[in-house]
């Protein structure tokens, strides 16, 4: 619009009274300046939007996510999780604090099996976070790669060090219906949130069965300890998960 106005003014004020050669030179100069202005405007728009995206907190896990590990520490560790499949076989990606795959196809932890029997028959699969020491927690948010939120049944379990076995925190069979709103938006990464009574444990495990489902693919595994009366509600409401 601005460029059009500039062209119009110059043409009407000066252009009509110039000789042909001077007109051509003027036209080329204006064209070059218009092109430069256009490039600068597009670049500025791109930079501003890139900057806005880079600072968008929704892309990253918050600092109170106790499972988050930027690679500087041995724990929390995701290495007890089942092996990944295909190109998305990186357990550390599920605790790196990045919720979205972005432009990287080979991102997150994808599991074997599933409806198509990738590399293995379908069945029970798990992702485990080992904190390295007992931690208090009462909420989990798992960010699933786009269309991998149709898992028919899953458990959240915590490690019981005294019994040397897993305690079941909850079992859910409604992941698909709870994520309808997110699926309709065709989001790259879809959160599934669960709340439960506060426990103290060294490990948390997401155990699921991928028969009659996509194979399962996690972008991020977040764990929180919300203080009483200080629980964020946005995801909880959207997912319809009231917890215990």
| Residues forming the site for Ca ion (CB under 5 A) | 93, 96, 98, 219-220
Nearest to 96 by CA among 129, 121, 122: 129
At its nearest, how many Å lie between Ca ion and the CB of residue 98? 4
Closest separation in Å from C-beta 185 to Ca ion: 20
Between residues 149 and 199, which has the closer beta carbon with respect to Ca ion?
149
- Are 191 and 143 spatial neighbours (Cβ–Cβ below 8 Å)? yes
Question: How far is CA 69 from its chain centroid?
Answer: 15
Write out the two tokens for 182.
Answer: 């997110």
Q: Which is nearer to Ca ion, 194 or 220 (CB)?
A: 220
The nearer residue to Ca ion, 93 or 125, going by C-beta atoms, is 93
Residue 100 CB, shortest distance to Ca ion, in Å, is 8
CB 135 within 8 A of CB 224: no
Task: Compare residues 205 and 219 and give the one whose CB is closer to Ca ion.
Answer: 219
Shortest approach of Ca ion to residue 241 CB, angstroms?
Answer: 21
Q: How far is the CB of 219 from Ca ion (least distance, A)?
A: 5
**Minimum CB distance to Ca ion smaller for 78 or for 114:** 78
The Cβ of residue 37 has, within 10 Å, a number of other Cβ atoms equal to 13
């Amino acid at each position: 619009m601005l460029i059009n106005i500039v062209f119009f003014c110059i043409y009407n004020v000066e252009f009509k009274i110039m000789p042909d050669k001077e007109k051509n030179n003027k036209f080329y100069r204006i064209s070059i300046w218009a092109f430069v202005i256009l490039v600068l405007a597009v670049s500025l728009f791109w930079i501003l939007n890139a900057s806005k995206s880079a600072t968008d907190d929704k892309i990253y896990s918050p600092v109170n996510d106790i499972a988050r590990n930027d690679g500087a520490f041995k724990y929390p560790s995701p290495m007890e999780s089942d092996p990944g499949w295909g190109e998305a076989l990186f357990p550390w990606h599920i605790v790196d604090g990045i919720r979205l795959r972005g432009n990287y196809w080979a991102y997150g932890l994808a599991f074997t099996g599933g409806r198509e029997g990738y590399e293995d028959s379908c069945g029970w699969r798990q992702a485990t976070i080992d904190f390295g020491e007992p931690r208090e927690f009462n909420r989990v948010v798992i960010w699933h790669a786009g269309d991998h939120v149709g898992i028919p049944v899953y458990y959240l379990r915590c490690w019981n060090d005294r019994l040397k076995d897993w305690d079941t925190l909850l079992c859910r069979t409604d992941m698909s219906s709870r994520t309808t709103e997110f699926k309709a938006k065709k989001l790259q990464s879809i959160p599934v949130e669960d709340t439960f009574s506060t426990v103290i444990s060294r490990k948390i495990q997401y155990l699921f069965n991928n028969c009659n489902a996509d194979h399962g693919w996690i972008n991020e595994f977040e764990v929180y300890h919300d203080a009483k009366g200080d629980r964020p509600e946005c995801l909880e409401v959207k997912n319809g998960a009231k917890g215990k």
